[in-house]
C-alpha cells in the first residue's frame, strides 16, 4: 500500500485555493468521473492506468492524513456531509472528501457469502457474476488496499463487550474476526470518523496515488456536479457536457461555474447523489426500460419522472 499522496503528486489535486479552473473547461477529457469514493476512484485509476486522460471531480476537499484528529465534533462534518430530504424525513451522512466513504467509514472488507451469489443467479437471473469470476478482482483490491484479517489482540473495548455478551448467551461460536482494509490497527474504535493514525487502505492510500503517478489523472476537489447536457438516444442517454460549481469548502461560497466536456462520463457520487444528479438532468429520461418511475413527494402526491 502506498503511504498517502506524496507532496509532488498532491500538486495534481486542484482545489479552489490552489488553482484556477480555466484549463479544465478548455480540455476535452477522455473521461470525467464524478465522485472519488471507492466507485469513482477505482474507475478513474483503472482508466488512467490504461492511458486515458481522466478528470476526477469531488465535491469535498482533500484532507491529508495530518488533518485527521479523532475529534468527534469536528471530523464527521469535515470529512462528511449531512443532507436531509424536504421535511427532514431522511437524513443522509455521506463521505464528502477526496476518497469518499473509504476515508470516513469502518474499513471492514467483507466478501459476500455464497448465498448472495446464489440469490443473484436464481432470483435476479444475474448468473454471469459469480464468486469465482470475482475472485481475482477481490484479490487485486485486497492487495491494493492492504486487506488483512484482524487479530484478537487488536480488539477494542466495544468489541470485547460484544464478545462477552455473545459468550454469556452461548453464541460465541458464530463470532469471527473480520477482514479490514488496514495495515495494522491501534484499537481506538473511532474508525468512523477517519483514522488519525492513517492506517486505513483508503483511496488516498491505494488507488489514487498510483493513478496520479501515471500523469494521466487530474483531480479537482470542491467541485460539485450539477447536471448534464445531453440527449436521449435510442440506446440511452448520451451526455455531452457536465455543469459543475466550484465552491470554497469552508464558506460554501460559489467561486466559479462552468461545463466540462469529455468523451465519457462516469457517475459515481454515491447511491443517492448519483441518482440525484441524473434526475437534475432535464434531458435524462428516468424511465427504466418501459416502466415509468414514480417518485413520491413528501406530502404524498406522485409526479412522474421528476426530482423531488
Ligand atoms: C456508517 C457507514 C459505515 C460503513 N462502513 C463500511 C465498512 O466498514 N466497509 C465497507 O466496505 N463499506 C462500508 N460502508 C459502505 C461504503 O462506505 C460504501 O459502500 C462506499 O463508500 C460506496 O462507494 P461510492 O464510491 O459508491 O460512494 P462514496 O464513497 O459515498 O463516494 C461518493 C463521493 O461522491 C462525492 N459526491 C457526491 N455528490 C457529488 C456531486 N454532485 N459532485 C461531485 N462529487 C459528489 C461525495 O462527496 C463522495 O466523496 C459504510 C457506509 C456507512 C454509511
Question: For residue 184, what are the contacts with CB-CB under 8 A and spacing of at least 6?
Answer: 154, 199
Hunting for cell 475472485 — which residue is that? 135
Does any ligand 1 atom lie closer than 6 A to the CB of residue 106?
yes
Span 233-246, mean pLDDT?
90
The pLDDT, as a whole number, for residue 300 is 40
pLDDT band (50, 70, 90) for residue 286 = low
> How far is the C-alpha of 308 from the C-alpha of 302, rounded, in Å?
10
pLDDT bin (cut points 50, 70, 90) of residue 155 is confident
Whole-number pLDDT of residue 295: 37
CA 95 – ligand 1 centroid, Å: 5
Higher pLDDT, 89 or 225: 225
Spatial separation of the C-alpha atoms in residues 199 and 4, rounded to whole Å = 10
Q: Find out whether 270 and 100 touch, Cβ atoms under 8 Å.
A: yes
Q: Are 85 and 298 in contact (CB under 8 A)?
A: yes
Could you give the count of Cα atoms lying within 13 Å of 260 in the half-sphere of its Cβ? 31
Cα 129 to the chain's mean position, in Å?
Answer: 22
Ligand 1 center to residue 286 CA distance, Å? Answer: 23
Q: Are 41 and 18 spatial neighbours (Cβ–Cβ below 8 Å)?
A: no
Burial of 187 (0-12, 13-18, 19+ CB in 10 A): middle
94 CB under 6 A from ligand 1?
Answer: yes
| Model pLDDT, residue 108 | 94
Q: What is the mean pLDDT of residues 20-46?
A: 92
> Mean pLDDT over residues 37-66, rounded?
96
> Please, what is the average pLDDT of the chain?
87
Strands 217-220 and 223-233: unpaired
In short, whether 230's Cβ falls inside 6 Å of ligand 1 is no
pLDDT band at 299 (very low <50, low <70, confident <90, very high): very low
Q: Is 224 in the pocket of ligand 1 (CB under 6 A)?
A: yes
Pocket test for ligand 1, best of 37, 102, 199 (most atoms within 8 A of CB): 37
At residue 99, the pLDDT reads 97
CB 263 within 8 A of CB 269: no
Judged against a pLDDT cut of 60, whether residue 144 lies above it is answered with yes
Residue 264 has pLDDT above 80, yes or no: yes
* Interval 50-74 mean pLDDT: 94
Q: Is the CB of 111 under 6 A from ligand 1?
A: no
Assess whether the C-beta atom of 59 lies below 6 angstroms from ligand 1. Answer: yes
Nearest to 162 by CA among 147, 148, 146, 178: 178
Q: In whole angstroms, give the CA distance from residue 260 to residue 258.
A: 7
Nearest protein CA to atom 49 of ligand 1, as residue: 100
As a three-state string, the secondary structure of 157-175 is HHHHHHHHHHHHCCCHHHC
User: Per-residue confidence at 287, pLDDT binned at 50, 70, 90?
Assistant: low
Among 17, 61, 75, 52, smallest CA distance to 204 is for 61
SS3 assignment, position 277: helix
Would residue 85 be called left, alpha or beta, if left means φ above 0 and alpha means ψ between -120 and 50 degrees?
Answer: beta
CB 268 within 8 A of CB 43: yes
Judge contact between 259 and 22, C-beta under 8 A: no
Ligand 1 center to 225 CA (angstroms): 16
Indicate if ligand 1 lies below 6 Å from the C-beta of 265: no
- Residue nearest to ligand 1 atom 18, measured at CA: 101
| Set of cell numbers at residue 65 | 492524513
Q: How far apart are CA 192 and CA 76, in angstroms?
A: 8
Is 35 in contact with 276 (CB distance < 8 Å)? Answer: no
**271 C-alpha to ligand 1 centroid (Å):** 8
Mean pLDDT of 145-153: 92
Q: Which residue has the higher pLDDT, 174 or 122?
A: 122
Could you tell me the pTM of the whole model?
Answer: 0.89
User: Residue 23: its pLDDT value, please?
Assistant: 82
Question: Which atom of ligand 1 approaches the CA of 39 most closely?
Answer: 25
114 C-alpha vs ligand 1 centroid, how far in Å?
24
Q: What is the pLDDT of residues 79-105, one digit of tens each?
A: 999 988 888 888 889 999 999 999 999
Spatial CA neighbour of 55 closest among 220, 238, 246: 220
Give the mutation target among 207, 219, 245, 269 for probing the ligand 1 site: most ligand atoms within 8 A of CB. Answer: 269
Neighbours of 92 (CB within 10 A): 14
Q: Do 57 and 34 form a contact (C-beta atoms < 8 A)?
A: yes
User: Locate cell 488483512: which residue?
Assistant: 148
Among 35, 46, 104, 265, say which to mutate for ligand 1: greatest number of ligand atoms within 8 Å of CB: 35
Instruction: Look at 16-20, 88-92, 219-223, 299-303 and tell me which has the smallest mean pLDDT.
Output: 299-303
Amino acid at each position: 500500500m502506498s503511504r498517502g499522496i506524496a507532496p509532488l503528486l498532491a500538486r495534481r489535486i486542484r482545489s479552489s485555493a490552489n488553482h484556477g479552473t480555466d484549463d479544465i473547461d478548455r480540455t476535452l477529457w477522455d473521461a470525467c468521473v464524478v465522485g472519488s469514493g471507492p466507485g469513482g476512484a477505482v474507475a478513474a485509476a483503472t482508466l488512467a492506468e490504461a492511458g486515458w486522460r481522466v478528470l476526477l471531480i469531488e465535491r469535498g476537499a482533500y484532507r491529508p492524513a495530518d488533518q485527521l484528529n479523532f475529534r468527534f465534533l469536528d471530523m464527521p462534518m469535515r470529512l462528511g456531509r449531512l443532507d436531509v430530504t424536504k421535511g427532514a424525513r431522511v437524513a443522509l451522512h455521506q463521505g464528502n472528501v477526496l476518497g469518499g466513504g473509504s476515508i470516513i467509514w469502518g474499513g471492514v472488507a467483507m466478501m459476500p457469502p455464497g448465498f448472495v451469489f446464489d440469490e443473484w443467479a436464481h432470483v435476479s437471473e444475474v448468473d454471469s457474476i459469480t464468486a469465482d469470476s470475482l475472485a481475482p478482482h477481490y484479490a487485486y483490491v485486497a492487495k491494493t488496499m492492504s486487506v488483512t484479517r484482524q487479530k484478537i489482540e487488536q480488539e477494542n473495548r466495544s468489541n470485547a463487550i460484544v464478545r462477552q455478551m455473545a459468550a454469556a448467551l452461548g453464541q460465541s461460536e458464530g463470532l469471527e474476526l473480520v477482514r479490514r482494509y488496514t495495515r495494522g490497527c491501534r484499537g481506538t474504535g473511532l474508525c468512523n470518523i477517519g483514522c488519525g493514525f492513517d492506517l486505513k487502505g483508503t483511496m488516498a492510500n491505494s488507488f489514487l496515488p498510483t493513478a496520479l503517478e501515471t500523469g494521466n489523472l487530474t483531480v479537482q476537489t470542491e467541485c460539485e456536479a450539477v447536471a448534464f447536457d445531453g440527449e436521449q438516444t435510442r440506446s440511452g442517454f448520451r451526455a455531452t457536457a457536465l455543469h459543475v460549481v466550484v465552491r470554497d469548502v469552508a464558506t460554501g461560497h460559489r467561486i466559479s461555474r462552468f461545463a466540462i466536456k469529455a468523451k465519457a462520463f462516469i457517475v459515481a457520487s454515491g447511491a443517492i447523489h448519483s441518482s440525484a444528479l441524473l434526475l437534475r438532468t432535464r434531458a435524462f429520461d428516468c424511465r427504466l426500460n418501459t416502466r415509468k418511475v414514480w417518485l413520491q413527494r413528501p406530502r404524498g402526491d406522485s409526479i412522474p419522472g421528476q426530482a423531488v
